[in-house]
Protein backbone atom coordinates (compact mmCIF):
# COMPACT_ATOMS: atom_id res chain seq x y z
CA UNK A 1 0.00 0.00 0.00
CA UNK A 2 1.22 3.53 -0.86
CA UNK A 3 0.36 6.76 0.93
CA UNK A 4 1.36 9.50 -1.55
CA UNK A 5 1.42 13.11 -0.45
CA UNK A 6 -0.59 14.71 -3.24
CA UNK A 7 -0.33 18.37 -2.26
CA UNK A 8 0.35 20.92 0.44
CA UNK A 9 -1.55 23.98 1.63
CA UNK A 10 -0.83 26.81 4.04
CA UNK A 11 -2.64 29.60 5.83
CA UNK A 12 -1.17 32.43 7.87
CA UNK A 13 -2.94 35.20 9.76
CA UNK A 14 -3.22 38.56 7.97
CA UNK A 15 -1.00 40.35 10.47
CA UNK A 16 2.77 39.92 10.37
CA UNK A 17 4.51 41.09 13.55
CA UNK A 18 8.24 41.81 13.41
CA UNK A 19 10.53 41.72 16.43
CA UNK A 20 10.49 45.52 16.48
CA UNK A 21 6.68 45.43 16.39
CA UNK A 22 6.79 43.31 19.58
CA UNK A 23 8.89 46.01 21.24
CA UNK A 24 6.34 48.60 20.08
CA UNK A 25 3.61 46.44 21.60
CA UNK A 26 5.36 46.66 24.96
CA UNK A 27 7.38 43.42 25.16
CA UNK A 28 10.66 44.05 26.96
CA UNK A 29 12.94 42.62 24.27
CA UNK A 30 14.93 43.59 21.20
CA UNK A 31 15.49 42.36 17.66
CA UNK A 32 19.18 41.57 18.24
CA UNK A 33 18.45 39.22 21.19
CA UNK A 34 15.65 37.38 19.40
CA UNK A 35 17.58 36.96 16.14
CA UNK A 36 20.84 35.85 17.79
CA UNK A 37 19.20 33.41 20.24
CA UNK A 38 16.49 31.99 17.96
CA UNK A 39 16.81 33.12 14.33
CA UNK A 40 13.23 34.46 14.51
CA UNK A 41 12.63 37.74 12.65
CA UNK A 42 8.84 37.83 12.52
CA UNK A 43 5.70 35.83 13.25
CA UNK A 44 2.04 36.00 12.19
CA UNK A 45 -0.58 36.68 14.83
CA UNK A 46 -4.34 36.19 14.52
CA UNK A 47 -6.81 39.04 14.61
CA UNK A 48 -10.11 38.54 16.45
CA UNK A 49 -11.90 37.00 13.47
CA UNK A 50 -9.12 34.47 12.86
CA UNK A 51 -8.62 31.26 14.80
CA UNK A 52 -7.12 27.78 14.67
CA UNK A 53 -10.25 26.62 12.85
CA UNK A 54 -10.21 29.35 10.16
CA UNK A 55 -6.50 28.74 9.50
CA UNK A 56 -6.98 24.95 9.40
CA UNK A 57 -9.93 25.32 7.02
CA UNK A 58 -8.07 27.67 4.68
CA UNK A 59 -4.95 25.48 4.55
CA UNK A 60 -7.14 22.42 3.91
CA UNK A 61 -9.10 24.08 1.10
CA UNK A 62 -5.86 25.16 -0.59
CA UNK A 63 -4.37 21.67 -0.31
CA UNK A 64 -7.53 20.10 -1.77
CA UNK A 65 -7.57 22.58 -4.67
CA UNK A 66 -3.92 21.89 -5.47
CA UNK A 67 -4.49 18.12 -5.35
CA UNK A 68 -7.58 18.43 -7.53
CA UNK A 69 -9.52 16.46 -4.92
CA UNK A 70 -13.10 17.38 -4.00
CA UNK A 71 -14.09 17.63 -0.34
CA UNK A 72 -16.62 14.89 -1.15
CA UNK A 73 -13.68 12.52 -1.71
CA UNK A 74 -12.09 13.06 1.71
CA UNK A 75 -12.40 10.05 4.02
CA UNK A 76 -10.17 11.15 6.90
CA UNK A 77 -9.48 14.51 8.55
CA UNK A 78 -6.85 14.66 11.28
CA UNK A 79 -6.01 18.04 12.80
CA UNK A 80 -2.92 18.31 14.99
CA UNK A 81 -3.50 21.11 17.47
CA UNK A 82 -3.22 21.92 21.15
CA UNK A 83 -4.88 25.32 20.71
CA UNK A 84 -8.39 24.37 19.51
CA UNK A 85 -11.22 26.90 19.18
CA UNK A 86 -13.32 24.88 21.63
CA UNK A 87 -12.64 22.12 24.14
CA UNK A 88 -15.16 20.20 22.07
CA UNK A 89 -16.12 19.46 19.39
CA UNK A 90 -12.77 19.13 17.68
CA UNK A 91 -11.28 21.48 15.10
CA UNK A 92 -11.58 18.52 12.71
CA UNK A 93 -15.35 18.56 13.24
CA UNK A 94 -15.49 22.27 12.39
CA UNK A 95 -13.33 21.72 9.28
CA UNK A 96 -15.46 18.77 8.13
CA UNK A 97 -18.61 20.85 8.42
CA UNK A 98 -17.10 23.93 6.77
CA UNK A 99 -15.60 22.25 3.71
CA UNK A 100 -18.52 19.88 3.16
CA UNK A 101 -16.60 16.64 3.58
CA UNK A 102 -18.84 13.54 3.83
CA UNK A 103 -20.46 12.74 7.16
CA UNK A 104 -18.97 9.26 6.78
CA UNK A 105 -15.49 10.69 7.20
CA UNK A 106 -13.31 9.97 10.24
CA UNK A 107 -12.51 13.38 11.73
CA UNK A 108 -10.49 13.90 14.88
CA UNK A 109 -7.90 16.10 16.57
CA UNK A 110 -4.55 14.96 17.84
CA UNK A 111 -3.05 16.91 20.76
CA UNK A 112 0.67 16.41 20.30
CA UNK A 113 1.99 19.97 20.65
CA UNK A 114 5.08 20.41 18.47
CA UNK A 115 5.15 16.69 17.54
CA UNK A 116 1.48 16.79 16.58
CA UNK A 117 1.87 16.79 12.81
CA UNK A 118 3.94 13.58 12.83
CA UNK A 119 1.32 12.01 15.14
CA UNK A 120 -1.40 13.16 12.72
CA UNK A 121 0.42 11.62 9.75
CA UNK A 122 0.71 8.31 11.61
CA UNK A 123 -2.96 8.45 12.62
CA UNK A 124 -4.16 9.30 9.11
CA UNK A 125 -2.07 6.52 7.60
CA UNK A 126 -3.60 4.03 10.06
CA UNK A 127 -7.14 5.18 9.32
CA UNK A 128 -6.60 5.03 5.55
CA UNK A 129 -5.03 1.57 5.90
CA UNK A 130 -8.19 0.46 7.71
CA UNK A 131 -10.22 1.43 4.66
CA UNK A 132 -11.69 4.71 5.89
CA UNK A 133 -11.42 6.35 2.49
CA UNK A 134 -8.97 7.12 -0.28
CA UNK A 135 -7.85 10.58 0.79
CA UNK A 136 -6.89 12.14 4.11
CA UNK A 137 -6.53 15.78 5.01
CA UNK A 138 -3.69 15.99 7.52
CA UNK A 139 -3.52 19.43 9.09
CA UNK A 140 -1.32 21.14 11.69
CA UNK A 141 -2.96 24.31 13.01
CA UNK A 142 -2.17 26.44 16.04
CA UNK A 143 -2.76 29.85 17.60
CA UNK A 144 -0.08 30.03 20.25
CA UNK A 145 -0.50 33.81 20.42
CA UNK A 146 -3.60 32.98 22.47
CA UNK A 147 -1.77 30.87 25.07
CA UNK A 148 1.52 32.66 25.57
CA UNK A 149 2.02 34.86 28.61
CA UNK A 150 2.66 38.22 26.95
CA UNK A 151 4.48 39.31 30.14
CA UNK A 152 7.01 36.47 29.84
CA UNK A 153 9.57 37.65 27.30
CA UNK A 154 11.38 34.32 27.56
CA UNK A 155 8.50 32.58 25.77
CA UNK A 156 6.16 35.10 24.10
CA UNK A 157 8.70 36.12 21.46
CA UNK A 158 9.15 32.51 20.32
CA UNK A 159 5.72 31.59 19.00
CA UNK A 160 3.43 32.41 16.08
CA UNK A 161 0.11 31.32 14.56
CA UNK A 162 -0.49 29.39 11.35
CA UNK A 163 -1.66 26.22 9.66
CA UNK A 164 -0.30 23.80 7.10
CA UNK A 165 -2.01 20.86 5.46
CA UNK A 166 -1.32 17.96 3.16
CA UNK A 167 -3.62 15.70 1.18
CA UNK A 168 -2.49 12.10 1.59
CA UNK A 169 -3.75 9.42 -0.75
CA UNK A 170 -3.96 5.67 -0.36
CA UNK A 171 -3.37 3.31 -3.26
CA UNK A 172 -2.65 -0.38 -3.66
CA UNK A 173 -0.13 0.08 -6.46
CA UNK A 174 2.65 2.47 -7.50
CA UNK A 175 1.64 6.07 -8.09
CA UNK A 176 2.97 6.49 -11.58
CA UNK A 177 1.30 9.87 -11.97
CA UNK A 178 3.61 11.33 -9.34
CA UNK A 179 7.09 10.06 -10.20
CA UNK A 180 6.64 7.85 -13.24
CA UNK A 181 8.08 4.74 -11.61
CA UNK A 182 6.83 1.95 -9.41
CA UNK A 183 9.09 2.59 -6.39
CA UNK A 184 7.29 3.00 -3.06
CA UNK A 185 5.75 6.46 -2.83
CA UNK A 186 4.61 8.90 -0.21
CA UNK A 187 4.81 8.20 3.51
CA UNK A 188 7.31 5.33 3.75
CA UNK A 189 7.74 5.11 7.52
CA UNK A 190 6.75 7.00 10.63
CA UNK A 191 7.73 6.65 14.28
CA UNK A 192 6.71 8.35 17.52
CA UNK A 193 8.13 8.62 21.03
CA UNK A 194 7.12 10.04 24.40
CA UNK A 195 8.69 10.58 27.82
CA UNK A 196 5.83 11.80 30.01
CA UNK A 197 8.06 11.91 33.08
CA UNK A 198 9.34 15.18 31.61
CA UNK A 199 5.91 16.76 31.13
CA UNK A 200 6.90 19.65 33.38
CA UNK A 201 9.64 20.90 31.03
CA UNK A 202 7.17 22.45 28.59
CA UNK A 203 3.51 22.70 29.41
CA UNK A 204 0.42 24.81 29.73
CA UNK A 205 -0.13 26.23 33.23
CA UNK A 206 -3.79 25.19 33.16
CA UNK A 207 -6.56 23.32 31.47
CA UNK A 208 -10.26 22.51 31.52
CA UNK A 209 -10.13 19.94 34.29
CA UNK A 210 -7.58 21.67 36.49
CA UNK A 211 -7.97 25.44 36.36
CA UNK A 212 -10.92 25.80 33.96
CA UNK A 213 -8.69 28.06 31.86
CA UNK A 214 -6.47 27.35 28.90
CA UNK A 215 -3.41 28.37 30.92
CA UNK A 216 -0.27 29.88 29.44
CA UNK A 217 2.95 28.42 28.06
CA UNK A 218 5.51 27.54 30.74
CA UNK A 219 8.90 26.33 29.54
CA UNK A 220 12.28 25.40 30.96
CA UNK A 221 13.96 26.77 27.84
CA UNK A 222 17.51 25.52 28.36
CA UNK A 223 16.44 21.99 29.29
CA UNK A 224 14.09 21.75 26.29
CA UNK A 225 16.83 23.10 24.04
CA UNK A 226 19.28 20.44 25.22
CA UNK A 227 16.82 17.59 24.88
CA UNK A 228 15.66 18.79 21.44
CA UNK A 229 19.22 18.84 20.08
CA UNK A 230 19.96 15.41 21.59
CA UNK A 231 16.81 13.81 20.15
CA UNK A 232 16.80 15.51 16.74
CA UNK A 233 20.51 14.92 16.32
CA UNK A 234 20.07 11.14 16.35
CA UNK A 235 19.59 9.20 13.13
CA UNK A 236 15.90 8.31 13.30
CA UNK A 237 14.93 4.62 12.96
CA UNK A 238 12.43 5.52 10.21
CA UNK A 239 15.27 5.69 7.70
CA UNK A 240 16.29 2.06 8.22
CA UNK A 241 12.61 1.06 8.28
CA UNK A 242 12.29 2.61 4.83
CA UNK A 243 15.48 0.91 3.63
CA UNK A 244 17.28 4.26 3.42
CA UNK A 245 20.36 5.91 4.92
CA UNK A 246 21.08 9.52 5.85
CA UNK A 247 22.92 9.96 2.57
CA UNK A 248 19.66 9.34 0.71
CA UNK A 249 17.93 12.30 2.36
CA UNK A 250 17.36 15.19 -0.04
CA UNK A 251 15.55 17.47 2.43
CA UNK A 252 15.53 17.71 6.19
CA UNK A 253 12.28 19.35 7.36
CA UNK A 254 12.42 19.61 11.15
CA UNK A 255 10.00 21.22 13.58
CA UNK A 256 10.88 24.92 13.54
CA UNK A 257 11.53 25.99 17.15
CA UNK A 258 14.88 27.73 17.04
CA UNK A 259 17.44 27.96 14.24
CA UNK A 260 20.20 27.07 16.73
CA UNK A 261 18.43 23.77 17.50
CA UNK A 262 17.98 23.05 13.79
CA UNK A 263 21.61 23.74 12.98
CA UNK A 264 23.00 21.81 15.95
CA UNK A 265 20.85 18.78 15.08
CA UNK A 266 21.82 19.02 11.41
CA UNK A 267 25.49 19.22 12.39
CA UNK A 268 25.14 16.16 14.63
CA UNK A 269 23.52 14.25 11.76
CA UNK A 270 26.16 15.44 9.30
CA UNK A 271 23.55 16.64 6.78
CA UNK A 272 24.65 19.41 4.37
CA UNK A 273 23.47 22.92 5.21
CA UNK A 274 21.64 23.37 1.89
CA UNK A 275 19.40 20.36 2.62
CA UNK A 276 17.89 21.96 5.73
CA UNK A 277 14.54 23.71 5.27
CA UNK A 278 14.28 26.72 7.60
CA UNK A 279 11.14 28.82 8.05
CA UNK A 280 11.44 29.71 11.73
CA UNK A 281 12.80 33.13 10.68
CA UNK A 282 9.47 33.95 9.01
CA UNK A 283 6.89 32.01 11.05
CA UNK A 284 8.54 31.61 14.49
CA UNK A 285 7.50 28.44 16.34
CA UNK A 286 4.00 27.46 15.18
CA UNK A 287 4.03 24.15 17.08
CA UNK A 288 2.12 21.47 15.12
CA UNK A 289 1.83 23.77 12.10
CA UNK A 290 5.55 24.29 11.66
CA UNK A 291 6.41 21.13 9.69
CA UNK A 292 3.53 21.38 7.19
CA UNK A 293 4.20 25.13 6.78
CA UNK A 294 7.88 24.39 6.08
CA UNK A 295 6.92 21.60 3.67
CA UNK A 296 4.58 23.96 1.85
CA UNK A 297 7.29 26.62 1.57
CA UNK A 298 9.85 24.21 0.13
CA UNK A 299 7.35 22.59 -2.26
CA UNK A 300 5.91 25.85 -3.57
CA UNK A 301 9.34 27.43 -4.15
CA UNK A 302 10.39 24.35 -6.12
CA UNK A 303 13.01 22.91 -3.77
CA UNK A 304 11.17 19.68 -2.90
CA UNK A 305 10.45 17.85 -6.16
CA UNK A 306 8.69 14.57 -6.97
CA UNK A 307 10.86 11.59 -6.06
CA UNK A 308 12.89 13.47 -3.41
CA UNK A 309 13.41 11.83 -0.02
CA UNK A 310 12.11 14.12 2.73
CA UNK A 311 12.89 13.48 6.40
CA UNK A 312 10.64 15.26 8.90
CA UNK A 313 11.58 15.41 12.57
CA UNK A 314 9.62 16.82 15.47
CA UNK A 315 10.25 17.42 19.16
CA UNK A 316 8.13 19.13 21.77
CA UNK A 317 5.92 19.03 24.83
CA UNK A 318 5.42 15.64 26.42
CA UNK A 319 8.32 15.48 26.03
CA UNK A 320 7.45 13.95 22.68
CA UNK A 321 9.16 13.32 19.39
CA UNK A 322 8.53 11.77 16.03
CA UNK A 323 9.97 11.29 12.56
CA UNK A 324 8.53 10.54 9.16
CA UNK A 325 10.19 9.78 5.86
CA UNK A 326 8.44 10.51 2.60
CA UNK A 327 9.34 9.82 -0.99
CA UNK A 328 7.74 12.95 -2.37
O1 LIG B 1 8.84 23.76 20.21
C2 LIG B 1 9.70 22.99 21.02
C3 LIG B 1 9.95 23.62 22.27
N4 LIG B 1 10.66 24.83 22.34
C5 LIG B 1 11.96 24.92 22.13
O6 LIG B 1 12.58 24.08 21.54
C7 LIG B 1 12.69 26.09 22.69
C8 LIG B 1 13.93 25.64 23.40
N9 LIG B 1 14.67 26.69 24.08
C10 LIG B 1 15.23 27.74 23.44
O11 LIG B 1 15.12 27.89 22.23
C12 LIG B 1 16.08 28.72 24.25
O13 LIG B 1 16.31 28.16 25.51
C14 LIG B 1 15.42 30.11 24.41
C15 LIG B 1 15.45 30.83 23.07
C16 LIG B 1 14.02 29.96 24.90
C17 LIG B 1 16.21 30.94 25.40
O18 LIG B 1 17.55 31.07 25.01
P19 LIG B 1 18.73 30.95 26.09
O20 LIG B 1 19.98 31.20 25.36
O21 LIG B 1 18.55 29.62 26.77
O22 LIG B 1 18.44 32.18 27.05
P23 LIG B 1 18.00 32.20 28.59
O24 LIG B 1 16.58 31.79 28.76
O25 LIG B 1 19.01 31.44 29.39
O26 LIG B 1 18.15 33.74 28.90
C27 LIG B 1 19.39 34.41 28.77
C28 LIG B 1 19.22 35.87 29.06
C29 LIG B 1 18.55 36.14 30.41
O30 LIG B 1 19.16 37.29 30.96
P31 LIG B 1 20.25 37.16 32.12
O32 LIG B 1 19.56 36.42 33.24
O33 LIG B 1 21.37 36.38 31.53
O34 LIG B 1 20.59 38.59 32.43
C35 LIG B 1 17.12 36.45 30.05
O36 LIG B 1 16.50 37.28 30.99
O37 LIG B 1 18.37 36.49 28.10
C38 LIG B 1 17.29 37.18 28.74
N39 LIG B 1 16.11 37.08 27.89
C40 LIG B 1 15.76 38.02 26.99
N41 LIG B 1 16.31 39.19 26.65
C42 LIG B 1 15.71 39.91 25.66
C43 LIG B 1 15.20 36.08 27.85
N44 LIG B 1 14.26 36.34 26.93
C45 LIG B 1 14.60 37.53 26.38
C46 LIG B 1 14.01 38.32 25.38
N47 LIG B 1 14.59 39.48 25.05
N48 LIG B 1 12.89 37.94 24.70
Q: Tell me whether strands 76-80 and 106-110 are parallel, antiparallel or unpaired.
A: parallel
| Protein residue with least CA distance to atom 39, ligand 1 | 154
313: CB partners within 8 A, 6+ apart? 232, 236, 252, 253, 254, 255, 265, 321, 322, 323
Q: Is the dihedral of CA 97, 110, 312, 74 positive or negative?
A: negative
Nearest CA, atom 27, ligand 1: 154
Nearest one of 148, 123, 149, 160 to 43, comparing CA atoms: 160
Active site residues per annotation: 114, 255, 285
Query: Distance (Å, rounded) from C-alpha 325 to C-alpha 274?
Result: 18
Domains and CATH numbers, the chain: 5-169 (3.40.47.10), 182-327 (3.40.47.10)
Ligand 1 midpoint to CA 37 (Å):
7
* CA 29 to centroid of ligand 1, rounded, Å: 11
Per-residue pLDDT tens listing for the chain (328 residues): 899 999 999 999 999 999 999 999 999 999 999 999 999 999 999 999 999 999 999 999 999 999 999 999 999 999 999 999 999 999 999 999 999 999 999 999 999 999 999 999 999 999 999 999 999 999 999 999 999 999 999 999 999 999 999 999 998 865 555 666 777 789 999 999 999 999 999 999 999 999 999 999 999 999 999 999 999 999 999 999 999 999 999 999 999 999 999 999 999 999 999 999 999 999 999 999 999 999 999 999 999 999 999 999 999 999 999 999 999 9
The Å distance, Cα 38 to ligand 1 centre, comes to: 8
Q: Is 157 in the pocket of ligand 1 (CB under 6 A)?
A: yes
Amino acid sequence: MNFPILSTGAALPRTCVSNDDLVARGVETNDAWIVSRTGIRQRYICEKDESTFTLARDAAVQALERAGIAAADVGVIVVATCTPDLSFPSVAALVQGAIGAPTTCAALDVNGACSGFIMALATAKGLLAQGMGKHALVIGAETFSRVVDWNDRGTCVLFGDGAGAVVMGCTDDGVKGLTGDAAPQGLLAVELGMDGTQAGCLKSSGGVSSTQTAGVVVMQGREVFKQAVRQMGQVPPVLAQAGLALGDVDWLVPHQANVRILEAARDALGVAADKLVVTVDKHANTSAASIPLALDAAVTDGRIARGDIVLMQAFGAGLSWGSAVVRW
